[in-house]
Structure 1
Amino acid sequence: MTKPWAYDPAGPRVWIGPEAVGYLVADDVNANRGNHYFDVLKYDDHGHNTVFAQIGSGTVLQQVNLAPGGILNQPIYKPLLDFLTGAPPNGLGRPLNSGANGLYLFPYDWRADLPDQAARLEAFVDTVLSRPEVQAAHVQKVVLLTHSLGGLISRAYYLSSPSKVDQVISIACGFGGVILPLKILTMGDTWGFGIGFGALTVGFTEWETQALAQNWGTAYFQLPSSDLWFSDDGAIFDRSYIRDERQPLPHSHQASMSWIQLHNNATLTNRAESFFTSTSPSLDDFRAGTGSIPHHRIISKGRMDTVVAIRIYTGTSDACQFAMQTGLPVNPAECVPITRYEPIHGDGDSTVPYHGLLGTIAPTENRIYVLDNVNDHIEHFALTTRPEVHHLIASLLDGSVTNQTQVAAIFQSPGTVTELL
């Protein structure tokens, strides 16, 4: 996100305000009550960007600087962009945002509804294809290279408008569904951007993202989109992702969406469900292939810190439980029954469950590339930085690789790996 009225030549920054400094110096909890800078990211109750309309999408995030001058940094998309635009032989030499074979960056507002972003992508593709140098080269189709949510946006686009897409290469996208947004809606999360210590957090705070996500379409449109999520429910895995022990567990798409509608933003839940039911095939259904558009999916797994479900139950406070275990005195008010929440973890890439990365596929599926080595289980964002992935992308772009079998020495097939319990 950028502020169009305040550009910083050093790039986007996350500021720690004076209330945080006061908390650190004075050890005063009241000093932490001040401006909450991420409040400017809020949407209205209908899921629209009207509260702070001047805040919109910026550009593709290359790295997060953790120290002045980027001495310490966390790379995001910089390694991939450097590879795509760098000079051969170490890069592909694609010009940035220009040329008939250029790399054009599509920044999108990841808070918004999925169909709105797909419509914006369609307009963006039309703009690129109408450029004079592109038309002069008689280029009529684009290759969509995506990561994470970008894959869903691209799939929504090509399912409705396939004529201008040559192929899709998606990295770490949860086509089958992502459960982390549900955790954020019910109990909060740093969404991968923050380190928390109680009331003091650097980056996203769990309580802040929980409040903001209630009105963000992205938190609803990334959830499982059909009953295909439950197609193997009960065989080996419990696929119920809402483990509300106060009621019978929902083991169907309709029951799950009804629970979400009851406890969260009903308007956005209904909007997501309306989109899910209007898409054919559903976003998660790859059993019949992808028609004339080759869709290559690069994924990783083996990270057992991936949220696959949320448990909701009645219990007591941590203070009460600690006192009961140690025999220490406790205020009776601490032992009043309360609603408790906890995440259930399983196999995935730390963000997307492996089950969601696959979606529903045919036994003959040959365009999923699983990078998962012993003692090298690759995280959601880190997958975009890997040289193996860069080389695969290059081979897919030049047509020397068209399926997983050709690179089986490095990338496994879903048929040769097992989802971990």
Structure 2
Amino acid sequence: KISEKEQRIAAIITKYESVAPKKYKFAAVKKMTENFKVTLGKGGFGTVFKGKLSDGREVAVKVLNTSKGEGEDFVNEVVSISKTSHVNVVTLLGFCLEGSNQALIYEFVPNGTLEEFINKDRSSMDALLLWKTLHGIAVGVARGLEYLHRGCKTHIVHFDIKPHNILLDRELRPKIADFGLAKLCSTQKSALSVQGKRGTPGYMAPEFCFPNFGSISSKADVYSYGMMVLQMVKGKINISAGVDNNSENCSVYQMYDHLIQYDSLEAYGVTVDTNEVAKKLMLVGLWCIQKLPAERPTMTRVVEMLEGSKECLEMPPSPKSTLELPKFFEKNEKSDEYKAKIEYRSTGIYKQEKRMRLIIVKIEPKCHSLRGSRVLYNTISGRLQGQTYGRFPLQYHIGSINISLLFAVVRCRHTLTAATFCLSTYRPAVADI
């Protein structure tokens, strides 16, 4: 018997049947993969197998884990990617929807993911050729996103751009893949209505956590793209300089400061020949991760910046104002009794909601360990969950920048001051460590 979920998915796919790719029976999927013989990768979504069509073309077959979710990922991929045709977007050749069996048949892209390319030791490769390859990959992904945002008849926002979702073909040309979180949007609207957060931590745009930064739009993809490009630069520099990938000695902040002072990245293993390409990639990445969506460039502008002269690129604002909390806290609480330094401030009252207040709290645990930070994180989350001020529930988000810095943003009634809130919630939570 077909479940209600399966009936709903089938109805949606049927609606788009005129633009959908070829539909395969599950028996044909088993045959093309030789009964799922060769596994290419696994994830929360399911498993990818290597296969071959009857005409000899190699394919990658993604068999979805139907026990998770409501089938939204499957529908998103079939509907959104069916509307695309671009050299930098992976091609969906077919799909299978037979009872509870769901599979997507893609062109086979032989050189793995960008994540694998970044992390692999390529010290034997000519440095200039490697940086030009990275630049070419960055341009290709930017063109693919520009096409999705503006070139399609129905615009598409991907919402999960990261190295793992960029595939590389035989010529190392990038192809954007995994449209499970994608959203179709009208060409007339820039703001999108999105339920919950979409994306991967570390690449997800800040407006998902802080709605007052701006509305959700294609600029979320721009932010993710910027983080991806910075990861490309950082990964190559760390390998060249022999620095651990998590080392603070090679942080984006320090590279930015070095650029400001010396206009060069040579101290990080970048040669005179490769400095221009490395610097251009870093500047573009920094522009893309600006905190406010309105301050980020469009993907069309990103392509122009990557293909234009480095001299035309202005230095963006410091990433410290984007990736770190601003240093604008008004009061400190320092005490060994509470095992941490607590800083807080109230940002004032929303213009649209004159009786609401936004409180920002920053906590630096004195025990600089992952375990200590997790304990504090969980303790604070437990205290905030379900807490009210009078009859009004608190809305909050807790995050961490690294193991020595936690923060929270709380939306509450304007009569609750930052000092009162911290004294009643954060100081007891820190004392519980």
Instruction: Calculate the TM-score normalised by the size of structure 1.
Output: 0.29
Q: Which has the higher contact order (CA 8 A, sep 6+)?
A: 1
Larger radius of gyration: 2
Instruction: Calculate the TM-score normalised by the size of structure 2.
Output: 0.29
